Each structure stands twice: as C-alpha cells, then as structure tokens.
Amino acid sequence: MLRTHTCGALRKSDVGSPVTLCGWVDSKRDHGGAVFIDLRDRYGLTQVVIGPPEANEALIKQAGHVPNESVILIRGVVADRLEGKTNAKLETGEIEVRSEHFEILSASETPPFTPGQSDLPGEDLRLKYRFLDLRRKEMQQALIRRSEIIKCMRDYFAEHDFIDVETPILGRSTPEGARDYLVPSRVHPSNFYALPQSPQLYKQILMVAGFDRYVQVAKCFRDEDLRADRQPEFTQLDLEMSFVDSEDIIGLIDGLVAKTAKQVLGKDITLPLPRMTYEEAMRRFGSDAPDLRFGLEIVDVTSVAAKTDFRVFRGTADAGNFVRGINVKDSALKFSRRQIDELTAFVQQDFGAKGLAWFRVEDDGTLWSPIAKNFDEEHLAEIKALMGGEPGDLLMFLADTWEVTCKGLSGLRKRLAVELKLYEDGELNCSWVTEFPMFEKDEEAGRYVAMHHPFTAPLEEDLPLLKESPEKCRAQAYDLVINGSEAGGGTIRIHDSKVQSQVFELLGMDEETARDRFGFLLDALRFGAPPHGGIALGVDRWVMLFAGLENIREVIAFPKTQKAADMMTGAPGEVDADQLNELHLRTVSAKT
C-alpha cells in the first residue's frame, strides 16, 4: 500500500506517529515560508503543512505550485495543531501532518468545476465530467448509502434461505410492456435478442424447477420516456417464492423495510406497514402510490353538487362525472387570489382540469367564494359538513371525470404539501396498496391490457369474472409505496396453464402468438408448477428515497440523461460500417 492511513483516520492519539497519506489537493494556502494543503479522499480531509524544519525550500516551492485536484503523496509526522487553529468541523481537526516528503503522483489541469464549490454547474456538465462530480462528498455519500442498502438486502435474504441465481441478459423479445432494447445477432441474421425488462419469466421457471426461494440484484432495461425518477437501465432487487400467498410476500418485505430503516438510517418502523386497496387509494388520495406523510384526503361531494344551482357542479354530476375536493386546513389566509389563480393554471395545464373551485370558511362558519351566490345555505352547509370545514380552512374542488379529478387532486395535494411544508425532511412513510385491477382498457387499440403483467393471478373470488366481466377482475397484486413513490411491485403468479392461456386470449393474443412468445412458459406450467409469487424492489429508487433525494441520477454512478444519453462516453454513438455488415444491418435516415 502506498499509504499508511486515509485522510479521515488520524486523531490526537496519533500525534508523533510517522504516516504516509495519498489523496487529492482540495485547497492550498501559501503563508510565506510554509504551504498548507487540505488533502482529501473519500474518508475525509487532513491538513498537511509543508514548511521548515521538515521541508526544504525546493519542496515548499513545489508544493506552492501544485494545482488543485492533483493527486499527491505525503510522508511526515502527525502533530498537534497550534492553539486556536483547531477545526471542530473536521474529525481530523485537532491534528495536522508536518510533511518531510512531497510527491506529485498525477498533476491536474484546471477543472471545469471543483468538488467543493457551492454553485454547481448544470447537470449536463456534471455528467460529462462525472469523474469530477463523483469526487463531491454528497455523491460519494449517496453511493456509499447505496452500497449499504444493497448489502443489507443481500444479508436479509441470505438469513431467510434465499438462493442468489443469475438470469440471462440476452433473452427473447416479448413486446407486452415498454419497448425492448434489441441486440442484433451476428450468428442468426435478421434475429434479435432483447435486454431484460425484468427477470420475470426466468424466475417463474426457477419456481417450476424447485428453487423455492430465489433472489437476485438484477440489471433491467426499458426503452421508455424518461423522467427524474426513471432510467433506461436500472437495478432491481428481484425475488420469487413458492408455496406462498400475498400475505407471506408482504410480511417478508415489511421485515426488510424495518431492517433497512434501522440499519441504514437508525429509524424504527412500526410493523405491519399500513395497507389499503387500490380502490381506497384512488378514492381517498387520487393515486395508486399515495403519499401518507400528510393528510389532504379527497372527499366526494357529487351527491350535493347534483342538487345545487351551480351549473358547473350540477352539469358535471348530471353527466355521470364527479365533484371532489380537499380541505386545506388553516390556510384560508395563506393563499391570495393570485396564488389560487396559479394553482388553477397548474391543474389545468398539467392535468387537463377545466378549473379549480374554492371556498373559504369564514370566522362565523359560513363559506365565502366568488361562486357562493350560486348555492343556497343548505347546500353550502352540506358541503362544509362533508369536507369537515372549520373557520380558517380553504376548500378546493375539481369537477370533472374520475380520472381528471384523481390526477388533478393528487397533483394538487403534492404541490400544497411542499408549499405548506406539511412533512418533515427525512421523514419516511411506507405503506402497501393491494388488489389492483387485473386489466385496463386500451381505448385506441380496443382491447384489454394487463395493469401489471400478463402473468398475474386474479383473486380467487374474482376468477369467474375473467369470462363474465374482465374489467371488474381484481389481481393478487401489491405495491410498496414510500413517500408517495412506488418502491416495489409484485404479484402472485398464474400457475395453471389453462388460466394463463385464458389471460393471453383476453389480452388479444391468439393461440399461435401466445405459443410463439410464451410457449416455454406454458410448457413449464403443464409439468407441475407450484403456487408462487414475488416482488421486484427498485434499488435506485430505494436509495433515492432513503437518502432523501429528488433525482434518481444522484444515486447512480454513471446515469443517463433524460434523453437516454451518456454525456461522459458519448453513448449512444455510431458504429463502423464493417460492424453493421457483420450484423447484416444497414442504417436508414430518421423520419423528420
């Protein structure tokens, strides 16, 4: 080893010890006759003094000219800092190293930004020079947190007798979900592999093979539109179990959440985690991933709206749509008309709402609003009672379809929670949403699509609905929600080949297509398949949420941009004509 200690290791008890340190020059100060260097590595920072009597004039001069971010080696002796010169902000703040030997291992050019600067450049520049960005303490802490969480996960499942099995990266394209990333085959011209969107089918095959507890930290790929919490390639903790029901899976993951929170954050989580059905989540919060760190529950006032003279409310109710609202407690005086206009524009532009109606609960308990004249006192009193309105409250309503009121009020909840600071930084709220619909209707295609995936089993009591009313059929599906983000999703799988074929047919897949795409699965299900189920936990998102960050790219060492580009390496890039010829491919001009 070139070094005897890291830059965060030395303490007062080491005074007098000879040491060798290696690291990056974080900053330097020339005090005329002596140069002070703050030497940095991922463990911390140590002050190094290059000056007499330990260092000669040539060494001092060399140290004074070393560029910041250069990598250097220091040999010297640990000493107490002078009285009044200690730094309580540093763990090494009571000591310094008096250098007897100074060596530049790698000089740095002037960097486009430095790890310690407070005014960070734009994200594209940070990603282009990711090797500099990763020197920042915040980035290193995020990746260390990631490593801790993955280790905690691996340890937990090892304790529960899971077997870690690697599944293939090159597989068969089964275009049922997001777009696949395709890999052309040189050996099989005009044929393609697909990178896995998940190890779903392989892990089900492992259950049929008798491996009753499988786990894997898997890399997955989806060619989909990106946003702040999505990447084209991502990591998931994937598991599957035989001879279980949803209660077993949920209970297992409850334990993992509690262990991770305690071990990584030092927080206690009360178990079991709260649960609600999909129907309840949409009714109360307008989202299948509700943020439960704050209230602002949605209330349906359609029954009263249908009786009023206000045309917007009554017309909406008469059309079979909904009037739903939220009660923003003690906020009547916190929002000006201009601010309410901004919220109105927000729900209109982002969610397609027609407008935002509102009432203020006055000190005498009456409701005031520019539209209040369209309501009689009886109906206003009913609305206030349904909403739980009290003096000082602000009541906000959307009148629209179920979908628009869900999305609009869910988005409004989140925005108001941020603006009103309705939850604490670092707060961790975990819950389950269960009993999702099996199918949703693709109106453009005129057919059903699987809400989770085609291999999800229906609830036992809903099995007859597969034939009678597929849209009413509920799935044995469960999502883990952390702070309003889906952190994992799983289902109990179909283990009967006839039921699986029936589901394929419902999804518009004829027998020949189903056999071509999933014949190996249908075959496996005919040779003794155990009841089985599992879940996939998004590792990147877990780390983001446990680290209290907003952008998933902050917890991935080398992420892609929202255009799926790697700014550092220039990927994706063109390839040589010879490479294309080997793969029997040619490029065509992109459509404009």
Binding site as annotated, residues for ATP = 222-224, 231, 486, 538-541
**What token pair was written down for 512?**
């020949």
Q: Which residues are known binding-site members for L-aspartate?
A: 176, 222, 452, 493
Closest by CA position to 487, among listed 436, 440, 432, 438 = 432
Report the first-to-last Cα separation within the chain, whole angstroms: 57
Residues with Cβ within 8 Å of 142's Cβ and at least 6 positions away in sequence, in order, are 543, 547, 549, 554, 555
- Provide the sign of the torsion angle of the four alpha carbons 451, 455, 461, 467, taken in this order: positive
What is the CA 591 to chain-centroid distance, rounded? 33
Question: d(Cα 89, Cα 79) in Å, to the nearest integer?
Answer: 18
Give every CB contact of residue 526 below 8 A, 6+ residues apart in sequence: 497
Alpha-carbon distance of 372 to 244, in angstroms, equals 55
- Helices 511-525, 497-506: axis angle to 10 degrees equals 160
Please tell me the distance from the alpha carbon of residue 403 to that of residue 42, in angstroms, as a whole number: 48
Q: What is the DSSP string of 498-521?
A: HHHHHHHHHTT--HHHHHHHHHHH
Check: CB of residue 113 under 8 Å from CB of residue 120.
Answer: yes
Closest CA to 251 of 156, 169, 316, 335: 156
CB atoms within 10 A of CB 322: 21
Q: Which two tokens stand for residue 36?
A: 């002070």
Amino acid identity of residue 241, one-letter, is M
H/E run at residue 106: strand 95-106
Torsion, Cα 418 421 425 430, to 10 degrees, reads -70
> Could you tell me the two tokens for 193?
């592999």
**DSSP-derived 3-state class of residue 16:** coil
Residue identified by tokens 């906020």 is 331
For residue 551 the two structure tokens come to: 């952008």
Token pair 């179920």: residue? 402
For residue 326, list its beta bridge partners.
Answer: 298, 396
Phi-psi domain of 139 (left: phi exceeds 0; alpha: psi -120 through 50; beta: other): alpha
The answer to whether 22 touches 9, Cβ cutoff 8 Å, is no
Q: Cα(452)–Cα(71) distance, rounded to whole angstroms?
A: 50
For residues 139 and 554, what is the distance between their CA atoms, to the nearest angstrom?
7
Question: What residues are designated binding site?
Answer: 176, 222-224, 231, 452, 486, 493, 538-541
SS3 string, 77-92, reads EEEECCCCCCCCCCCC
